[in-house]
Structures are given as C-alpha cells and as structure tokens.
C-alpha cells in the first residue's frame, strides 16, 4: 500500500468536506439544537399557557377534601400563575356513590380530573383518580403529596404526636457516594453524572458513525455516478482509495466529537461537577476512532454495491442501527460495569467501542481487557476492509444493474460457489 497516496486522498477528502456549509452549520447548530431539545420540554412544563386546571374532589370522608383544597389551590407555575382550581363535593358515606354522572362531567371537559376519597381513607390509604388522560404524572405526584401530608398531620394529631418529633424520626439518611479510582484517589459521584458520562461516550461514537460514515457513502456514490471513480482507480488501488477516504472523513467526525466534548467539559466546569471520564478521554477517543473505522469499513463495502442514494441510505441505515444497540444495554452497564453480560459484550465487535468506552467512564477495566478489546477491533477492522475492498473493486465499476447477494458472496470468496 502506498501511504503517500493514502495521505493525499485523506487530506483532500478532509479539506473538501470541512469547508462545506453543511459541515460548518452542523458544527454550530447541532449543539444548539440539542440544548434546545433538552431544556425546552422542561421549560414548557413550568410555564402556564392556559386557564387553571379544574379539579373535582368527591369526599366520602367529609373533611379531607376541604383540608387539601387550600394547598392544591396554592400551587402555581414558575411565573406565579394559578395551576389548579379545586371544587370539593361532600358525598354521603352511607350511600352508594353513582360515579357515572361525575364521569360525564369529565367527558364534557367541565373538569380535567376527579379524585374520589373513600370514607376509610385513614385505614386504607387508597383513593381513585379519574380523567380522560392519566399521563400527567408530575401533577398527580404534586397533589398526592398534599393528600399524604394532610393525612399524616391528621393522624399525628389523633395520636398526640408532635410534628417536630415525627419529622426528626422520619428524616432520611443523606447518602454521599464516593467514587474510588485505580490510583487510590477519590471523588464525589452520583447516578446522574455516571449516566451522563455513559450516554455521552456512546453518543460520541454514534455521531462519528452516523455523520462521517454516511458522508463517506454519499461521497462514493457521487463519484460513481459521475464516473470520477474510474479516473481515481486508474491511479490508486481500491484499498488505498478506501483507506484514504476512511481516514479523511474520520477526521471530520473527530472534530465534531471534540467540539461536543468541549461543550461537555465547559458545562461540567461551570456546574462545578467532577467528572472522572475526562481523565480517560484518550482511551474513549481511541475506541471512538476504532468504532468509526469498523462501521465505516462495512458501510463503504455495502455502499459500493448501491446504484441509487436511496438504496445506499437503506443499507447504511442498518449499520447505524447496529451502532445504537449499546443504548439498550446502557442501564445494564451502569448497574454492573464489571458483570458477565457487560464483559461479554465488550468483546463483540459491533458493541466493543461503546461498551468499553462506557466501562471506562464508570470503572476502569483491567489493562488486559483494554488490550484484548482493542485487538478484537483491529482484527475486525482489517477483516471488514478485506471484504469491503473486494466488493468495492467490483461494485464501484458496475453500472446500471444491482449486484445480488449471491454475486457479492462470489466476489468475496473469489470463486464461483456453484462450481
């Protein structure tokens, strides 16, 4: 392999793509869009855009409804707007409640929800909520907390227990988590920080695969359609052309991942949150690059068989889906980063980059596991390149007809399978 040719192709691909408006806009807008998508849903839940929600309370206990009403009515949005408007109806506990008329008021949208308080609520600690939708978990939790507080205060008064004494007894344990490093140092840790670290490392790999990998296939298809590929292959070998494109476009993904990492570091710094993953970022970038080369080498082989951009996107879409599989394993990894399932997944090539990066972010694996997993990836990359080079050689010079799977198998094996 002529590495001078490879470096020339890589530099040309990098320079051509890095100057495009699409890449510059993606670099600038992607963090902004992700930030808006993260913050906007939270802001919308705290801002009032309508009249107070009308709540009906049917009280068979005869007193709880009036006790909770002032507290529920006092709940407001962050802007000070009233959130709920409560109506309490006392129900005779000795009569069977006909719920149908009240449910009809909900269907008529006179109320958004209705609480039914049984007469034995002190003993049963149960009540019902009726509504056309019950997905407003945050609001239901707010109201339920008020009911619990009122019941608790009533029972304390009944048994002659002071609120201050009960609060002292009920006070929970403030658990502080300390994360130990291999070198003996320690730092404070939390689930949210660990979750963000794992999510971020997997996200970096996904960005490199989806953005740079699909750019690679699109570039190949353009050159194939314009027949520029014939001129290129007359000067360099298919493997040199493939390698140059992989390295050049991999640089784009690396720049983009570095930018996201910079934003993450700035966010952690301003928030004064200690994140140990930054001390091992060199290993995470190593796995990110190896993951990119693995997935992109497969994409370039499959993409060379495509005859249209739609067909190429369909093929590469399945590869991107493989790259998203570690998200399914995220909680398994977080709960037990050194467990059997996590360890086994660390040596499955499609999962290795993300799983090992996540493990490094959570708890540094033994150096032997890092070495073995890197070797697994390197062997897998060379195997993928070998197969893709054979498909690339034939696929990029085939026009007007699709190469079937049986023909692709024949190309890879190197002989007629029917002979």
pLDDT digit string, tens, across residues 117-140:
999 998 898 999 999 888 888 889
SS3 306: coil
Each residue's pLDDT tens digit, 193-207: 667 777 777 777 777
**Is residue 310 domain-shared with residue 241, that is, in the same domain?**
yes
Question: In whole angstroms, what is the distance from residue 263 CA to residue 270 CA?
Answer: 11
Asked if residue 183 is part of any domain, the answer here is no
The structural domain count of the chain equals 2
User: Using CA atoms, how far apart are residues 250 and 39, in angstroms rounded to an integer?
Assistant: 30
The rounded mean pLDDT for the chain is: 80
Tens-digit pLDDT profile for residues 286-327: 888 888 888 888 888 777 777 677 777 777 778 888 888 888
* Per-residue model confidence (pLDDT) at position 419: 37
pTM above 0.95, yes or no: no
Distances (CA, A) of 346 to 192, 318, 375: 23, 21, 12
Give φ, ψ of 189 to 5 degrees. Answer: -140, 165
Q: Measured between alpha carbons, how far is residue 308 from residues 17, 228, 318, 401 in Å?
A: 21, 16, 16, 11
Domain shared by 159 and 210, yes or no: no
**Are residues 251 and 127 located together in one domain of the fold?**
no
Contacts of 92 (CB under 8 A, 6+ apart): 60
Q: Domain of residue 370: give its range.
A: 189-413
> What is the largest distance, in Å, between two alpha-carbon atoms of the chain?
95
Looking at per-residue pLDDT, the higher value among 187 and 121 belongs to: 121
Query: CATH code at 68?
Result: 3.40.190.10
Higher pLDDT, 192 or 366: 366
Q: Is the pLDDT higher at 260 or at 245?
A: 245
Contact, 329 vs 169, CB < 8 A?
no
Those residues with Cβ within 8 angstroms of residue 273's Cβ, 6 or more apart along the chain or in another chain = 193
Helix (H, G, I), strand (E, B) or coil at 155: helix
Determine, yes or no, domain membership for 270.
Answer: yes
Residues 405 and 271 in one domain: yes
Do residue 243 and residue 365 come from a single domain?
yes
Closest CA to 246 of 385, 81, 88: 385
DSSP-assigned states of every residue in 355-389: HHHHHHHHSPPPHHHHHHHHHHHHHHHHHHHHHHH
DSSP label at residue 337? T
Q: Please write the tens of the pLDDT for every residue from 147-164.
A: 999 998 888 888 888 888
The residue to which tokens 């004064």 are assigned: 272
| 364 and 216 belong to one structural domain | yes
347 and 233 in a common domain: yes
| Residues 138 and 194 occupy one common structural domain | no
């Amino acid at each position: 392999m002529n590495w001078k040719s490879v470096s020339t192709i890589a530099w040309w691909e990098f320079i051509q793509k890095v100057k495009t408006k699409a890449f510059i806009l993606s670099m600038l807008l992607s963090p902004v869009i992700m930030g808006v998508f993260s913050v906007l849903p939270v802001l919308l839940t705290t801002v009032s855009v309508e009249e107070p929600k009308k709540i009906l309370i049917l009280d068979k206990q005869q007193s709880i409804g009036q006790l909770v009403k002032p507290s529920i009515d006092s709940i407001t949005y962050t802007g000070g707007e009233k959130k709920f408007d409560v109506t309490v109806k006392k129900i005779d506990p000795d009569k069977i409640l006909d719920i149908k008329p009240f449910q009809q008021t909900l269907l008529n949208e006179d109320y958004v929800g209705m609480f039914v308080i049984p007469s034995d609520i002190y003993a049963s600690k149960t009540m019902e909520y009726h509504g056309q939708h019950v997905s407003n978990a945050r609001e239901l939790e707010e109201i339920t907390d008020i009911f619990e507080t009122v019941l608790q205060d009533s029972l304390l008064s009944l048994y002659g227990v002071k609120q201050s004494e009960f609060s002292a007894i009920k006070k929970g344990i403030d658990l502080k988590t300390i994360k130990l490093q291999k070198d003996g140092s320690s730092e404070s840790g939390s689930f949210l920080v660990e979750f963000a670290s794992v999510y971020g490392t997997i996200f970096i790999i996904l960005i490199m695969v989806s953005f740079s990998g699909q750019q690679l296939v699109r570039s190949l298809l353009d050159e194939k359609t314009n027949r520029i590929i014939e001129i290129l292959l007359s000067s360099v070998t298919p493997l040199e052309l493939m390698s140059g494109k992989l390295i050049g476009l991999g640089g784009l993904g690396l720049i983009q991942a570095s930018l996201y990492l910079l934003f993450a570091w700035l966010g952690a710094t301003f928030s004064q949150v200690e994140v140990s993953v930054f001390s091992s970022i060199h290993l995470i970038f190593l796995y990110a690059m190896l993951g990119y080369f693995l997935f992109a080498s497969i994409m370039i082989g499959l993409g060379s068989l495509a005859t249209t951009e739609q067909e190429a996107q369909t093929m590469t879409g399945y590869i991107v889906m493989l790259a998203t599989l570690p998200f399914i394993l995220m909680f398994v990894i977080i709960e037990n980063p050194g467990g059997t399932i996590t360890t086994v997944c660390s040596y499955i090539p499609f999962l290795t980059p993300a799983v090992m990066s996540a493990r490094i972010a959570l708890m540094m694996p033994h150096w032997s596991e890092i070495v073995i997993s890197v070797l697994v990836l390197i062997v897998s990359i060379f195997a993928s390149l070998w197969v893709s080079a054979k498909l690339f050689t034939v696929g990029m010079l085939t026009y007007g007809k699709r190469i079937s799977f049986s023909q692709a198998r024949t190309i890879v094996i190197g002989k007629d399978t029917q002979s």
